[in-house]
Amino acid sequence: MAGTVIGDGLTIDGEVTGDDEVVVHGTVRGTLTTSEAVSVAAGGVVEADVTASSVSVAGHVTGNVTAQDRIDIQAGGRLVGDIKSARFTIADGASFKGSVDMEV
Amino acid sequence: MAAASIIGPGTVVRGNVRGNGSLEVRGRVEGDIEVDGDVALGEDAAVNGNVSGAQIIVAGQVAGDLRGSEAVMLERGARVVGDLSAPRIGIAEGALVRGGVRTEGEAPAPRRAAVLPARRGGERSDFARPAPKPIAVPAPKPAQPAPAAVAAKPAPAAAPALAVEASGGPPAPVVPALGKGVRGKKKTKRS
Amino acid sequence: MARMTADTSVLGAATVVNGRVSGEGALRVEGRLNGDVSVSGPLELASGAAIEGDVSAGAIDIAGTLNGDVNANGAIVIRAGAEVRGDLKGKSVSIEPGSRVDVRLDTDFSLDIEGRR
C-alpha cells in the first residue's frame, strides 16, 4: 500500500522528499526523493531527478534516476535521463534515452 | 469521479500542489494547495501555505488561509493561524484558530459530509455532537415566540430579575405591550 | 449602570434595553440589548435575540445576533442560526456550521511549524 499517491489530476511543482512509497498517476515537476519505492504509472509524468530504493516506470520520466536496488522501465514506459542502479530492466516496447551506470 | 491523492505521513512537499480530484495530506506541505475536490488534513499533517478546495477538513496544523467553495471544518486537533472563508464554516470545540473567519458565498446543496479517515480516537467527525444544556433559568415564564419581525408583542414579558437604567432615551418599558387583537380590560363606550 | 442581584438574570423576549448591563452571575438575553454587557458568569444569547455592543463574560453561548466585540474567560460557542460580527477572544471558540459569521479570532497558542505569520 503506497504511502503517497499523486492522483491523475494532480500536479506537484517542487521537491518531494520522504520515506513513503510514492505512486505517480499525475505530474511531479522538480525533484522526487524517497527511501522507498517509486512507481510512475501509465499516464504519470515525472519531470524531475528521482532518487529511491527502486523505480518502476510505466509512464514518462524526464530526469536522472538513481535507485538503491533496481530500475525497471515497463512496456509503454519512457525514460529520458541517466539511470544509476545495481540492476535494471528495459522491457520490450519501453523507450529509453540516456546513459546507464551499474556501479552503485 | 476525479482521482484521490494522498501525501503520505513520511512525505514532505516543498512546492505547490494543484489540480483536480481530492487530496488527503498526512505529511507536510510547504507551499499552496489548490484543488477542485475535497481536502482532508490529518492530525499529524502540517501545511505552511494556503489551501483551497471544495470541502476542507482540518485536524492538523496550518499556517495559511483556508478557502472552501463548499465548507471549511476544523476538527478538535486543528491549529490554524490564518483566515477561513466558505459558505459553511465549523470550528469544533478544541480547535484553535487565530485569524479572520467569514462565512461567504453560495452554500451548495448539502451532500454527504466528508469525514477524515479513521483516526486515533475512533470518532469520524466532531460535528455530530448534541448541543450542551442551556443555562438553567430559575424564574418560570410563559412560553413565547421570539420577537423577530413580529410587530405586535402578544404576551407580557416576564418581569426581569434585574433593574436596568437606560442611559439616554426613554427607559425601556416593562409594562406588557398590547398588540393588535388583544383587548385591554378598560370599559369603553360604544360609539 | 445596572446591577444584577439574582444569580441568573433574564432579559425577556419583549424587552429592549438601551444601556449598559453589568454585574455578577449569569445572564440570559432573549430580547434586544443595545449597549455593552459585562457579567462575571455565563451569558446566553437566545435565538431571535440580539446584542449590539461589546460583551465581556465568563463564557458566552450565542444563538441569536451579536454585533460587537466579545471577550470571555472561558468558551465562546456560536450556534447554527447565529449571526456574529466582531472580534472574539476567549479560551476557546467553537462555531457550528450553519451560522453566519464575520469575526476575528484571537486565541493564544503557537504552531509547531514555522508559519508565514
Q: What is the ipTM of this complex?
A: 0.91
pLDDT one-digit tens code per residue, C18-56: 999 998 899 999 999 999 999 999 999 999 999 999 999
In this prediction, residue B108 has a pLDDT band, given cuts at 50, 70 and 90, of confident
Chain B closest-CA separation from residue A9 CA (Å): 5
Q: Comparing C-alpha atoms, which of A52, A3, A10, A7 is closest to residue A31?
A: A52
pLDDT one-digit tens code per residue, A71-102: 999 999 999 999 999 999 999 999 999 999 99
**B1 pLDDT above the threshold of 70:** no
Chain C segment 14-73 residues within 8 A of B by beta carbon are 14-21, 23, 26, 28, 30-32, 35, 42, 44, 46-49, 61
Whether C and B touch, i.e. at least 3 CB pairs below 8 A, reads as yes
Chain B closest-CA separation from residue A3 CA (Å): 4
Give the count of beta carbons closer than 10 Å to the beta carbon of residue B147: 22
Tell me the backbone φ, ψ of residue C26, rounded to 5 degrees: -100, 155
Whether residue A27 contacts residue A9, with contact meaning beta carbons closer than 8 Å, is answered with: no
Question: Which residue among C6, C97, C101 places its CB closest to the CB of B73?
Answer: C97
Cα distances (angstroms) measured from residue B29 to each of A17, B115, C41: 10, 21, 43
Q: Which residue has the higher pLDDT, C92 or B145?
A: C92
Chain A closest-CA separation from residue B140 CA (Å): 60
Residues of C in Cβ contact (< 8 Å) with B66: none
pTM of the model: 0.79
pLDDT on residue B137: 53
pLDDT on residue C7: 80
